[in-house]
Amino acid sequence: MSEENTEKPQRGTTIEFEYIHPLQAGKVLGLMYAILALILAPLFFIGPAMQGGPEAGFAIVMAIMMAIMYPVMGFIGGALMALLYNFVAGLIGGFRIDLK
């Protein structure tokens, strides 16, 4: 028979995120949104392309714009949110994470 572990989990090291580099956050989120755009853009294009007509041309333009705008907005949004986080973390403290 196996014995159950009755010990309480021990707390590890606690770290606090005090600062997030805005440029790095922008680059990471820009790339994540670029990947998302590459996945979603074809899905928005398939329906109108199968129907033909003027909607197909509009769908192509929208898919291209989506592939351009998603990463740009991801970069800008990531950088702005990092700046906002840094401001708020300076006032009330940052995220605290316990590590084992």
Domain boundaries, the chain: 22-95
pLDDT for 55-96, tens place per residue?
777 888 888 899 999 999 999 999 999 999 999 999 999 999
The 3-state DSSP class for residue 98 equals strand
pLDDT for 11-47, tens place per residue?
779 999 999 999 999 999 999 999 999 998 888 778 7
14 φ, ψ (degrees, to nearest 5)? -100, 130
Q: Which residue has the tokens 């840094």?
A: 86
Measured between alpha carbons, how far is 21 from 66 in angstroms, rounded to an integer?
Answer: 26
Measured between alpha carbons, how far is 69 from 89 in angstroms, rounded to an integer?
Answer: 29
